[in-house]
Amino acid sequence: MSIEFTERVEAIPVYPAARSYGFEGEVTKLASNETPYPPQRAVLEAVQAAMSGLNRYPDPTAAVLRRGLAERHGVAQAKVAVGNGSCEILLAAAQAMLEPGAEIVYAWPSFSMYPHLAAMTGARALAVPLDEGGRHDLEALAREVTVATRIVLVCNPNNPTATALEVEEIDAFVAGLPRHVLVIVDEAYVEFSVLQDPDESLALLERHPNVVLLRTFSKVYGLCGLRAGYALGPESFRLAVDRVRQPFSVNALAQAAAAEALRHQDELERRVERTVIERVYVQDELADRGLAVSDSQANFSWVALGEDLDEAEVYEGLARRGVIVREGTALGAPGHLRVTYGTRAENDRFLTALDEAMG
Ligand SMILES: Cc1ncc(COP(=O)(O)O)c(C=O)c1O
């Protein structure tokens, strides 16, 4: 006899973890779309100050952080949900909205957590191929929406292809959908896009009662080690999400760090600027090597290796030289690599290792 699990758990994919962990010696970590820049001193000080209160539970309403987010984005605090990373909000949305008979629609390849949502709830997933440029095919997505659809995910910019849509395109797309469908616009990388000012998509909230914008402190804010994300959208969404998860999911240090980081928008702009400079540099270097890259609006490149290069060989060749990137196969697109931008020194290490790995 052995312990038993539900049938449903068998269907849930295992999250494809990067190989960046447990290494000894110097490793260049370009696999997880993190920022290479460490947290600012003021953020570390806020964490230090919060540490002396760790004998107390964190504020389950995350009032200070939510107030900061409400002020920063000009929305009512009641419309701000926070989570243990934006992933937690995604999973909670699935718990709250999906069930057998319900459907969820998203583009593919996209963020590797999306298939979990249907699998864990018994709902049906409709994964719609990206277009040839690696962009969302909004018309094809709209065609999959039925009376059973509860959630449509739009990843903008898209992970792993790094491409982005204009806000007007998303606006027209949502306007054409029935109002019973919640559109979650996953904006984990929105700050890096030069196609829009990050505040531009806030207008979607005013125009559509069925839109949620999902954002995170893990990327441009550089706090993924602490886990904090947030959603802006209808109050009913926040209340539902709060009902299906544990009350203290955002820990006290994460709340303190995120609230402090919000106060330093100027630093954010500097980080975006540096990332965009590295993006232009790496994209040009890759193109000079004859590799096809998508139009990146994020903090990573999506590289098509073409027929002459073997994904596993290049990936392993990089790993042997201490550079960890992501294989396309793990992300649903064999023959590709996803490479996060690091500092200039890290990017040069990657490019040198790539030259060697490509022979
Ligand atoms: C598109 C997208 N959404 C959401 C997340 C989740 O981020 P977190 O849970 O760290 O906020 C990621 C992380 O890589 C992502 O790529």
Could you tell me the CATH number of the domain that includes residue 139? 3.40.640.10
Of 243, 262, 281, the domain-final residue: 262
In a domain, 8, yes or no: no
Give the C-alpha separation, 333 to 302, whole Å: 10
Q: 190 and 67, same structural domain?
A: yes
The number of domains in the chain is 2
Q: 241 and 222, same structural domain?
A: yes
Q: How confident is the model at residue 23 (pLDDT cuts 50, 70, 90)?
A: low
CB of 150 closer than 8 Å to CB of 104:
yes
Q: 163 and 117, same structural domain?
A: yes
Nearest atom in ligand 1 to the alpha carbon of residue 216 is: 11
Cα(185) to ligand 1 centroid in Å equals 12
Q: How confident is the model at residue 229 (pLDDT cuts 50, 70, 90)?
A: very high
CATH number at residue 30: 3.90.1150.10
Burial of 154 (0-12, 13-18, 19+ CB in 10 A): buried
Cα(216) to ligand 1 centroid in Å equals 7
Of 212, 236, 262, the domain-final residue: 262
Residue 17 pLDDT = 76
CB of 165 closer than 8 Å to CB of 139:
no
Closest protein CA for atom 12 of ligand 1: 188
Residue 258 pLDDT = 98
Q: 282 and 236, same structural domain?
A: no
Q: 276 and 195, same structural domain?
A: no
In a domain, 153, yes or no: yes
Give the C-alpha separation, 189 to 119, whole Å: 25
Give the C-alpha separation, 221 to 343, whole Å: 16
Q: Which of 69, 84, 87, 190 best tests ligand 1's pocket when mutated (most atoms within 8 Å of CB)?
A: 87
Residue 155 Cβ contacting ligand 1 at under 6 Å: yes
Q: 175 and 141, same structural domain?
A: yes
E-only strand ranges, the chain? 28-29, 80-83, 103-108, 124-129, 149-155, 182-186, 211-216, 229-232, 292-293, 300-304, 323-324, 326-327, 336-340
Residue % of the chain over a pLDDT of 70: 99
Q: In this structure, what are the phi and psi dihedrals at residue 301, rounded to the nearest 5 degrees?
A: -105, 150
Q: 182 and 65, same structural domain?
A: yes
Average pLDDT over residues 110-123: 97
Tell whether the model's pLDDT for residue 213 goes beyond 90. Answer: yes
Residue type for position 146: T
Provide the 10 A C-beta neighbour count for residue 267: 18
Residue 85 Cβ contacting ligand 1 at under 6 Å: yes
Nearest atom in ligand 1 to the alpha carbon of residue 229 is: 11
Residue % of the chain over a pLDDT of 90: 92
Q: 125 and 85, same structural domain?
A: yes
Q: Which of 33, 186, 230, 250 best tests ligand 1's pocket when mutated (most atoms within 8 Å of CB)?
A: 186
- The residue range of the domain holding 320 is 18-38+266-357
Q: 298 and 353, same structural domain?
A: yes
Q: 274 and 190, same structural domain?
A: no
Residue 16 pLDDT = 76
